[in-house]
């Protein structure tokens, strides 16, 4: 297939790696002046820089957009993509929070969200979120496309800002920041708690199945009847989002992890995630 990657940031380059590894021809468009340099790590027979968006999508079967999380930008870009890409091309957005109904043009039957988790060449999930104008055929083709890449697509039944994964992540992050601000734990101590408890459990089963098993033979029903009230009585914290308070948390994270470079930390993360996936086999 011919795939156009629009936006060569962290997500766009990760998608590029995944697409190229599966034998597809990739054209990458980004205004960054070092685009040719950052693409040197890829096979030039598979991955090439495009002069602009129009050139990238001219013969594309699939377009994966990874531009700024900016509504006006996406409106202008997808209006152009509908005009410039072939009529059969899927127009997919890696948007982290903005539903496609907010930026898809009137003729947007091929436009939908294909939201990955960073980095998409490692983490299997892709949230496939149709918009108001997305056709059933486009949904089916998007699911087949991501499955062909070894990803795990989940079609969501309703558009909500942030979709599912980022909303769960945001809720947990708010409580994590609140606990650090209260002085309960440091950032690295909180990460240790997560990795050695919920993170470990959720790598095997999700929150609902985990709770179902936590209820013993009585399952989720037993859990809600006997522990539910005490859990509901627990009030989660509300983090201080002022610039001063936020800066203190940022500095605490930098103290915890500043002794290693981004590249070192990312390699370590990916190595661990790949090891977990090799055991769980979550390539459904």
Report whether pLDDT(133) > 90: yes
Q: CB–CB of 113/100 below 8 Å?
A: yes
Catalytic residue list contains 127: yes
Catalytic residue among 21, 127, 247, 264: 127
pLDDT tens, 252-278?
999 999 999 999 999 999 999 999 999
Mean pLDDT of 124-144: 98
- pLDDT bin (cut points 50, 70, 90) of residue 282 is low
Report whether pLDDT(195) > 50: yes
* 83-to-90, 162, 279 alpha-carbon distances in Å: 13, 27, 45
Count of beta carbons in the 10 Å neighbourhood of residue 45: 8
Mean pLDDT, the chain, integer: 95
pLDDT at 88: 97
Q: Which two tokens stand for residue 236?
A: 């989660």
Helix axes 165-181 and 187-195, enclosed angle (nearest 10): 130
Q: Where are the domains of the chain?
A: 2-155, 165-280
Distance, in Å, from the CA atom of 198 to the CA atom of 134, rounded to the nearest integer, reads: 36
CATH code at 165-280: 1.10.1040.10
- Confidence (pTM): 0.92
SS3 call for 2 = strand
Q: Which two tokens stand for residue 157?
A: 């039944």
Nearest CA to 169 out of 146, 192, 197, 199 is that of 199
- The CATH homologous superfamily to which domain 2-155 belongs is NAD(P)-binding Rossmann-like Domain (3.40.50.720)
Query: In which region does residue 115 sit, left (phi positive, over 0), alpha (psi from -120 to 50) or beta (all else)?
Result: beta
């Amino acid at each position: 297939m011919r795939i156009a990657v629009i936006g060569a940031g962290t997500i766009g380059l990760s998608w590029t790696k995944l697409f190229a590894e599966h034998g597809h021809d990739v054209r990458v468009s980004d205004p960054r002046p070092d685009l040719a340099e950052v693409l040197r790590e890829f096979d030039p027979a598979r991955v090439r820089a495009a002069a602009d968006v129009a050139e990238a999508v001219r013969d594309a079967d699939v377009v994966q957009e990874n531009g700024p999380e900016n509504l006006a930008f996406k409106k202008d870009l997808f209006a152009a993509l509908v005009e410039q890409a072939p009529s059969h091309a899927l127009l997919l957005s890696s948007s982290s929070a903005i539903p496609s109904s907010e930026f898809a043009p009137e003729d947007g039957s091929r436009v939908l969200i294909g939201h990955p988790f960073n980095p998409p060449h490692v983490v299997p999930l892709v949230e496939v979120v149709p918009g108001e104008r997305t056709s059933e055929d486009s949904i089916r083709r998007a699911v087949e496309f991501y499955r062909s890449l070894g990803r795990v697509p989940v079609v969501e039944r309703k558009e909500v800002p942030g979709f599912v994964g980022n909303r769960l992540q945001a809720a947990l992050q708010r409580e994590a920041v609140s606990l650090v601000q209260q002085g309960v734990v440091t950032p690295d101590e909180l990460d240790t708690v997560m990795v050695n408890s919920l993170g470990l459990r959720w790598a095997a089963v999700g929150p609902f199945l985990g709770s179902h098993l936590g209820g013993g033979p009585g399952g989720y029903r037993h859990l809600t009847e006997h522990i539910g009230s005490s859990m509901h009585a627990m009030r989660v914290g509300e983090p201080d989002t002022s610039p001063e308070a936020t800066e203190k948390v940022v500095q605490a994270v930098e103290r915890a992890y500043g002794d290693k470079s981004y590249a070192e930390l990312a390699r370590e993360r990916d190595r661990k995630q790949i090891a977990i996936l090799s055991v769980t086999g979550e390539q459904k």
